[in-house]
Amino acid sequence: MDAKQELIEGLNLDLANEYQAIITYITYAATVTGIHREEMKEFFMREVPEELRHAEFLANKIAALGGQPTTVPIAVPPASNLKEMLHNLHAAEVDTIERYRKRREQAERIGDYGLVNDLEDLISDETRHKESLEMIIRGL
């Protein structure tokens, strides 16, 4: 497989994970319980538009590179309480940052420096999400 095709496949994995993030945040917002339900519901729903922008960007980039964007999300991890929800989301952010770092290296290999820059922005967004989750988890 050539480097460009490898990048397209990786971006499709990233897109499937962004779809998962959208579904996860909506699902967790709908099912969160407890004394802080309203605040956490709002927190989860505030993340959806940004994850949607990430998915749109990835789908457009995959198509621009000549690939076919996936339509299948990664499965949403189940959670029965707020703590599990937050830990699942944190693990997903850590994984996402690592995948985007790998994708940045792949983009450099094919000389797509615009994508390298865009991936830096995505890494920054995901790092902020991770740090927000860490702050909330520390307060539990």
pLDDT digits (tens, 9 = 90+) for 28-38: 999 999 999 99
- Rounded Cα distance between 75 and 77, Å, is 6
- Indicate whether 107 pLDDT > 80: yes
pTM of this structure: 0.96
Domain count for the chain, please give it.
Answer: 1
- Indicate whether 1 pLDDT > 90: no
Which CATH number does the domain housing residue 21 bear? 1.20.1260.10
What residue numbers bound the domain in which 106 lies? Answer: 3-67+77-138
Q: What percent of the chain has pLDDT over 70?
A: 100
Is residue 84 included in any domain, yes or no?
yes
